[in-house]
Amino acid sequence: MIAPILTGKLVRLDVLNAEEDLEQWAGWFRNGEFQRLLDDTPAALYTPAQIKEWLEKAPAGYTIFGIRTLCDDRLIGFVELSGFRWSARSAWVGIGIGLREFWGGGYGTEAMRLVCKYAFETVNLNRINLNVFEYNERAYRSYVKCGFKEEGRSRQAMLRDGKRWDVIYMGLLREEWQAVD
Amino acid sequence: MNYRPLFEDRDLRLASIDLEKDPKVIAGWTSDLTVARRLRSDEPVRPLAAHEVRKVLDEWVKEREKHDTYVFALRPRESDDLVGYYRIDSLTWVHGSASFELVIGKADDWAAYATAALELGLQFAFDELNMFRVKVRVEEFDARARSLYESANFYLEVRQRQALYEQGRYWDVLHYGMLRPEYSVYHQQMGVAA
């Protein structure tokens, strides 16, 4: 037997069930701060049905997990792999913790470690890309803990509240992952 | 008001894409897989037939109507030949940020027109679209593109390690960026040089 790779000490990665989960997902987007940490597009609101439709239209390979706590099986966020380049064996990762009380508690970091393990050890990728916004310091620290290295910055690429912020590019290579895991 | 020529330089002009004639010419360039990758991101990368290029160009022209992309044919000032294309995409209007691609099919044409094409392209992005910044992605092995952007004083912003596989090995993908204040300096220098 092989050990289950989608389960950690605080959380596990699980399927998102359209009916029960998307209602909660839609609720996370009511939080403007969540949206500003997640995406550079103007904040938008979606119905569960719209989210479901969007997920069903996602391109081949797109993989999304719900993040659930081990202690009470609560859905607290999601993590996704997208933009696969099979020749370069790379993909993009994105994560969002929708419930504020789970920010800063190590839940996101563990979920990211689990999805990296999955990406390298099951999907057999060589490289994972991510973007993080300069003002999202908590996420930046979390990604560094997971082994991601900063690869540069799109300088002043975002305008928020009258100030310009960098978009930071980070990458994690398989060989680096093996060193930290 | 400044009414400098928007679409032409001494030797080169930005023109509309000819959906009947241009696909065949561009398809001929796609045996260079670096060009093929610019046209279509789905894998595996391979040379494209004219009808496949036509489909891509149709899509770009449609996106132009939604202001998601702007694409121009590059033609010599005195002829209708196609030497390349310039395309602005990933337009994020709220942040004033965009990416562009500059493709020139033949090596001789690159030497003759790349500098002018870049100058016209940047002028459109900064002066017409009012972008605050633009960026361009370059494969590590594309020496002529790197030297074009470096001599225009683009800033090497990002090096995505091992992000591309070609010729049996991994290569880095480089992102070069230019901000509006940097464009002003570049523009002044180009004006002096001309």
Q: What is the pLDDT of residue B83?
A: 98
Q: What is the pLDDT of residue A81?
A: 98
Helix (H, G, I), strand (E, B) or coil at B137: strand
Output the domain CATH number for residue A146.
Answer: 3.40.630.30
Asked, for residue A64, whether it belongs to a domain, the answer is yes
A155 to B44: CB separation less than 8 angstroms, yes or no: no
Asked, for residue A4, whether it belongs to a domain, the answer is no
Cβ-Cβ contacts under 8 Å, B135 against chain A: 154
Asked, for residue A52, whether it belongs to a domain, the answer is yes
Ordered domains of chain B (ranges, CATH)? 12-193 (3.40.630.30)
**Active site positions of A, annotated:** 143
Domain total for chain A? 1
Q: How many angstroms separate the CA atoms of B94 and B110, rounded? A: 33
* Closest to B178 in 3D by CA, of B162, B192, B189: B189
Domain housing A114: 11-180
The predicted-structure confidence for A47-61, as pLDDT tens digits, reads as follows 999 999 988 899 888
Asked, for residue A5, whether it belongs to a domain, the answer is no
Mean pLDDT, rounded, of chain B: 95
Q: How many angstroms separate the CA atoms of B125 and B100, rounded? A: 9
Asked, for residue A152, whether it belongs to a domain, the answer is yes
Place of tokens 């895991």: A181
The predicted-structure confidence for B46-73, as pLDDT tens digits, reads as follows 999 999 999 999 999 998 888 889 999 9
B164 to A88: CB separation less than 8 angstroms, yes or no: yes
Q: How many degrees, rounded to 5, is the angle at CA B166 between CA B26 and CA A155?
A: 80
Asked, for residue A2, whether it belongs to a domain, the answer is no
Mean pLDDT over A51-77 rounds to 93
Tokens of A142: 């979390």
pLDDT confidence tier of residue B192, bands split at 50, 70 and 90: low
The predicted-structure confidence for A79-116, as pLDDT tens digits, reads as follows 999 999 999 999 999 999 999 999 999 999 999 999 99
ipTM, 2 decimals?
0.94
| Chain B, nearest residue to A170 by Cα | B160
Query: Could you tell me the CA-to-CA distances from A3 to A124, A125, B37, B114 in Å, in that order?
Result: 17, 20, 39, 55
Mean pLDDT over B37-47 rounds to 94
Asked, for residue A82, whether it belongs to a domain, the answer is yes
Tokens of B147: 């030297």
Contact A152, A40 (CB under 8 A): no
* In the predicted structure, residue B130 carries a pLDDT above the cut 60: yes
- Helices marked H in A39-136: 48-56, 107-121
Contact A171, A149 (CB under 8 A): yes
Q: Which of residues 86-125 of B touch A (CB under 8 A)?
A: 92, 94-97
Contact B42, B34 (CB under 8 A): no
Q: How many contacts, defined by CB atoms under 8 Å, are there between A and B?
A: 77
Asked, for residue A3, whether it belongs to a domain, the answer is no
* In the predicted structure, residue B193 carries a pLDDT above the cut 70: no
Cis peptide bond prior to A4, omega within 30° of 0: no
Q: What is the pLDDT of residue A1?
A: 63
| CA–CA min distance A159, chain B (Å) | 5
